[in-house]
Structure 1
């Protein structure tokens, strides 16, 4: 399944992803962000699981299984551009704003903001077609809540 998803993500003109594949692509993006600073912290893993549980109405075991699938995809995928292109094509702007909130929740989960994560967040927002202002509002919402 992952090799088929990778093939579709790396196609010159990828088709919009079905919901199950969009879940894995979004989850892999969360994992990529968490790993971007070289410290895949337990707090970030727990936040990814909570986010997957909330976003997709999963129990803890299902979320952990999905995260494991996302980790495998992230490890094999060549670049962030393909994740974001697939997500942008498959997800409405309103839902991409929710993805940004989820990304900010992971970025802030370990209690520190570092240059790698900040850079990844700026790039990801741009590639998802989310404005800087909307990304900033998403960060403030997550930080406040």
Structure 2
């Protein structure tokens, strides 16, 4: 069981590092899922204590976006934690999203990041910084960024 899980993680990590193929397939899809998950997990990791509410927000966002099974979500979340822990920049992840996502999809990622940040009722300065940095790397305009933030606030019941 553990060997199979490790092989799955190794395969996803190789896919993320591999150059984009001419026609996207399952490998590119997995790399896209991992890139998105890492960005969401990094917002969750921004605070010293990671609560269940933030973890649930990450899982909900990934389930909405990629329609994965519970087992696939759990494996993706584990891999995203490890990848986020060992990564030193966001470019490798945002570049993948810029290649494959529409502008609307990139805005949805920013909104999901805000939803993770607001899941515990507060947003730390580091969470704000991470989301702002990723929004810039995804070429999300300031207006789109603010609109995504306001929607996430409203969805969290913190506005309105």
Give the TM interval when normalised to the shorter protein.
0.7 to 0.9
In structure 2, the residue matched to 1:118 is 128
Equivalent of 1:76 in 86, 95, 98:
86
| C-alpha separation in 2, matches of 1:68 and 1:85 | 22
Task: Please list, as runs of the form range in 1=range in 2, the aligned pairs for 1:126-137 lying within 5 A after superposition.
Answer: 126-137=136-147
Equivalent of 2:106 in 96, 109, 132:
96
In structure 2, the residue matched to 1:38 is 48
Equivalent of 1:66 in 76, 89, 96:
76
Equivalent of 1:15 in 20, 27, 30:
20
| C-alpha separation in 2, matches of 1:7 and 1:50 | 26
Q: TM-score, normalising length from structure 2?
A: 0.78
Greater CA deviation, 120-129 or 84-93? 84-93
| C-alpha separation in 1, matches of 2:35 and 2:134 | 13
> Quick check: 1:44–1:109 contact (8 Å CA) kept in 2?
yes
| C-alpha separation in 1, matches of 2:16 and 2:73 | 21
Runs of 5+ unmatched residues, structure 2: 1-10, 156-160
Runs of 5+ unmatched residues, structure 1: 9-13
Q: What is the Cα-based RMSD across aligned positions, in Å?
A: 1.8
Q: TM-score, normalising length from structure 1?
A: 0.86
Give 1 or 2 for the bigger CA radius of gyration: 2
